[in-house]
Amino acid sequence: MFIYVNGDIIHREEARISPYDHGYLYGLGLFETFAVVDGHPFLLDDHFQRLQRGLAVLDIQWTYSREAVLTILQSLLKKNGLTNAYVRWNISAGIEDIGLYTGKYSQPSVIVFVKPLPNRPLEKKAEFLQLRRNTPEGSERLKSHHYLNNLLAKRELGPNRDKEGIFLTQEGFVAEGIVSNVFWVRDRIVYTPDLATGILSGITRQFVLKQLNHWGVRYEEGFFLPSDVKDADEVFMTNSIQEIVPLYFDGQRKGDRFITTQLQGSFEKNRRRLWSSDELK
């Protein structure tokens, strides 16, 4: 595969970064993962606006335009012979001396990875993890390079791709999946953990809430217990690559997936055309 590194498209074997890059030394960097479907980067504006806000928190100076991003994506997809792709757009702080730096990072490293878009799973088994969700490093959770909590959780869950682990907070409230946000439905009301639990404000999560609001479907964000999820009529996870995936516990598949199916239909309708969930009609 070919990747983009600081202005050049090169073979992955040729990629190099400095050992002084603070993304490597201190995990100081952010990334966005999104899908390209039939050449269209779904919700690209939402992803890059979140990225820009997070970089401002970290004092990493980087700006973008949709046109510049598309130029890079189109060149990279063409080089790899892809029209459907999993994309990871990675910004790390860049080079500084060893030591905790308090100034602005003005020359970040930009690396863009692509690979074929995987098939979306039909469903996954959900398990509550023993490992608790760590709290955000700052005032909110950023989509950052700090992934040790997720990695240890994945090791607890095991390599099975048909399973998703669900974190609880230290207080025992439902938080989020290892690589997903979590929703459930009871009596046609949709529930999801509040951002105040310390979860990531996922782009797909935001899309789902805006779609529900547009449909006039009631939803509640709050602090919930595992029993609330297990007793639900429907449970599903969301992320930007797998979109909407039904979940089940202990072999007990839910018979009614009305809201889940409706949302899957929304993604099928919109994934080839929307730049932002603000465009929902």
pLDDT at 147 exceeding the cut of 90 = yes
Asked if 95 and 135 count as a contact pair (C-beta separation under 8 A), the reply is no
Asked if 156 and 149 count as a contact pair (C-beta separation under 8 A), the reply is no
Please state, in angstroms and rounded to a whole number, the distance separating the CA atoms of residues 269 and 125: 26
216-225 as b/e: b if 16+ CB within 10 A: ebeeeeeebe
pLDDT at 254: 66
Residues 56-112: tens digit of each pLDDT: 999 999 999 999 999 999 999 999 999 999 999 999 999 999 999 999 999 999 999
Please state, in angstroms and rounded to a whole number, the distance separating the CA atoms of residues 1 and 181: 30
Please state, in angstroms and rounded to a whole number, the distance separating the CA atoms of residues 149 and 135: 10
Nearest by Cα to 86 from 45, 11, 34, 41: 34
Q: What share of the chain is helix, strand, coil (3-state, %, to 5)?
A: 30, 30, 40
DSSP 96-135: --SS---S-B-S-EEEEEEEEPPPPPS-EEEEE-SSPPPP
- Domains and their CATH numbers in the chain: 2-116 (3.30.470.10), 124-279 (3.20.10.10)
Residues 199-254: tens digit of each pLDDT: 999 999 999 999 999 999 999 999 999 999 999 999 999 999 999 999 999 867 76
Please provide the distance, in angstroms rounded to a whole number, between the alpha carbons at the two ends of the chain. 37
pLDDT band at 164 (very low <50, low <70, confident <90, very high): very high
Nearest by Cα to 236 from 180, 167, 280, 193: 180
Residue 108: beta bridge partners?
none
Residue 159 φ/ψ, nearest 5 degrees: -80, -5
Largest CA distance in the chain: 57
Arithmetic mean of pLDDT over the chain = 96
Nearest by Cα to 193 from 212, 177, 207: 177
Residue 243, SS3 per DSSP? strand
Q: Is 185 buried (19+), middle (13-18) or exposed (0-12) by CB count in 10 A?
A: buried
Nearest by Cα to 237 from 70, 124, 107, 72: 124
pLDDT at 256 exceeding the cut of 90 = no
One-letter amino acid identity for 172?
G
Token pair 């899908």 is found at 35
Please state, in angstroms and rounded to a whole number, the distance separating the CA atoms of residues 182 and 191: 9
The pTM of this model reads 0.96
